[in-house]
Amino acid sequence: MMKLVGARWLALGLAGLPVTGDAHLTGEPGHDAAASRLALAWRPAPVLALVAPARAAVPLALGPAAAFAPFAPAVRVRVEGDFLLVESEGLPAHGMMTGITAWQQQVPLPQPYTGANAWRIPLRPVPAAAGTPIRDRFLRGAIALAVNGVPIFNPQNNRGAVSADIGELDRWGGHCGRGDDYHYHIAPLHLEAITGVGRPIAYALDGYPILGLTEPDGSAPAGLDVWRGHESPGLGYHYHASETYPFLMAGFRGVVVERDGQVDPQPRAQGVREALTQLRGARITGFEELAPRSSYVLRYEVRGAAGVVAYRREAEGVWRFRFEEPGGDIREVTYRAGERRGGGKGKGGGPRREP
Ligand SMILES: [Zn+2]
Ligand SMILES: [Zn+2]
C-alpha cells in the first residue's frame, strides 16, 4: 500500500504539479538554486503596498526564506517588515494518516494559510529575558512551522497527553485536528532527506530555526541549554530536535505572545464540518490523494472490518464526503465552509459519533 502511495506522489511530482517533495530528494539545494526557487516563489501581494519597504534581518539566502525554498511552489514566502510571511495549504508531499491507531475521525483538508492568514516568522528573533517552557502550555495551535509549510503543535495534545505515546500520530509524526487541519506533534526529521542534513527542518514561532539531531557537519550538538538550543558561529542561535520527548525545543528562548493557551497571532485553520470523537478500535491502513488537493480516500479497519472515507472538492469550500462504515452503512454528505455544524446532528448526518 505504501509503495503505491509513494509511486503516486512521485508521478505527480514529475508531472510538474505542486507536489515536489520527491523531486528534491536527488540533490541538496545549493545557494543559487535556492535563490532562483525563491524568485519563482515570490508572489507580490497587495498587502505589500501598505507596509514599509521590506528589509531582511539577514541575507535571505541564509535565513528562513532559503529554508522554505526547497518546498516551493507549494510553500510561498515574502518579506513584510520584520517578518517572513509563509503561505501554504498545510499539506505535505509525503503520505499522511497511515499508522494512526487513535483516530478522532478527522481527515486532511487543504487549509487557507494565505494572505492575512499566512504564517509569520520573525526575521529578527528577540531573546526573552527568561524564556518560556512549553510543557503543559501552548497546548492549542502551532508552536513551530515545518519548512514544508505544515504546522507543528506541542508534543502534548490539547488534553496534555503526549501524542506520540498514544497512537495519535501517523508514520510521519502528524495527524488532523478538529478543523481537519493536518499538523505534526513531533519534529519531522524525515524532511532532512529533502533539506539536507543539518539544515533547518522547521522554524519555531519565536523565529529561531529547529535543526535535526546533528549539526551541518554531522556532529552531535554540544552544550544545549534548557530550551534545547545553543549558539554556533555562522548559524546563530538554533534549537535541536530529539527522538524522544520533547521532540522539539523544550521552550521558547525568544519572545512570543501567549494568549488563550497559544502563540498569538497565528493563522486559523478552517474546518467545514463538525469536530468528531475518537473511533475506538480504529486503525488507519491507507490514505491516497487521487487528484491534487481535491480528491482523497482514507481506509481504516475496526476489529478487522474495513471502512472508507472518500472526499472530494466540488467547488471552492464545498466538499462531498462518502462514508463507508465497517458495519456496511454508506452515507454521503456535502459540507460547505461557513456552515460548519456545531457538533449536533446536522442535516444529512455526519459520521457516527461515539457516545
Ligand atoms: Zn494534534
Ligand atoms: Zn546546533
Task: Establish if 310 belongs to a structural domain.
Answer: no
Query: What is the number of the ligand closest to the CA of 211?
Result: 2
DSSP 319: E
Those residues whose beta carbon sits under 5 angstroms from the ion ligand 1 are 177
What spacing in Å lies between the alpha carbon of 157 and ligand 1's midpoint?
6
Could you write out the DSSP letters of every residue in 150-161?
Answer: -EEE-SB-TTS-
The answer to whether residue 197 scores a pLDDT higher than 60 is: yes
pLDDT attached to residue 341 = 54
Say if residue 292's pLDDT is above 50: yes
Give the torsion sign (CA, 37, 43, 44, 48).
negative
3-class SS string, 21-64: CHHHCCCCCCHHHHHHHHHHHCCCCHHHHHCCCCCCCCCCCCCH
Between 212 and 24, name the one with better pLDDT. 212
- Ligand closest to Cα of 228 equals 2
CA of 29 to the centre of ligand 1 (A): 31
Residue 353 lies inside a defined structural domain of this protein? no
pLDDT at residue 53 in the model:
36
Q: Give the structural domain span for 30.
A: 2-264
Assign 62 a pLDDT band (cuts: 50, 70, 90): low
The C-alpha cell that represents 30 in the structure block: 545549493
How many angstroms does the Cα of residue 215 sit away from the middle of ligand 1? 28
Q: What digits encode the pLDDT tens for the residues 46-60?
A: 333 233 333 334 444
Cell matching residue 31: 545557494
In a domain, 313, yes or no: no
Number of domains in the chain: 1
Ligand nearest to the CA of 177: 1
The whole model's pTM is what? Answer: 0.81
Ligand 2 midpoint to CA 146 (Å): 17
**Residue 234 in domain:** yes
Across the range 133-148, mean pLDDT stands at: 97
**What separation in Å is there between the alpha carbon of 229 and the centre of ligand 2?**
7
Ligand nearest to the CA of 233: 2
What pLDDT is recorded for position 213?
98
Rounded mean pLDDT, 302-309: 97
Out of 18-27, 148-157, 158-167, pick the least confident. Answer: 18-27
CA of 337 to the centre of ligand 2 (A): 43
Ligand 1: centre distance to CA 152 (Å) = 9
Mean pLDDT of 200-219: 96
Average pLDDT over residues 206-218: 96
Region 296-318: what's the mean pLDDT? 97
Tell me if 317 is assigned to some domain.
no
In a domain, 125, yes or no: yes
pLDDT band of 44, cuts 50, 70, 90: very low
CA of 159 from ligand 1 middle (Å) equals 10
331: in domain? no
The C-alpha cell that represents 134 in the structure block: 512549553
- Check residue 234 and give its pLDDT: 84
Ligand 2 center–CA 193 separation, angstroms: 18
Of 354 and 179, more confident: 179
Domain membership flag for residue 91:
yes
Beta strands in the chain (DSSP E): 76-80, 83-87, 119-122, 127-133, 142-146, 151-153, 174-176, 182-184, 202-204, 209-211, 229-232, 236-240, 251-254, 257-259, 262-264, 282-291, 295-302, 305-315, 318-324, 330-336
Q: Which residue has the cell 502563540?
A: 263
pLDDT at position 222 over 90: yes
Q: How remote is the CA of residue 61 from the centroid of ligand 2, in Å?
A: 19
What angle is formed at CA 349 by the lines to CA 348 and CA 352, rounded to 5 degrees? 155
Q: Which ligand is nearest to the CA of 139?
A: 1
Distance 44 CA to ligand 1 centre (A): 32
Q: How many CA atoms lie within 13 A of 214 on its CB side?
A: 8
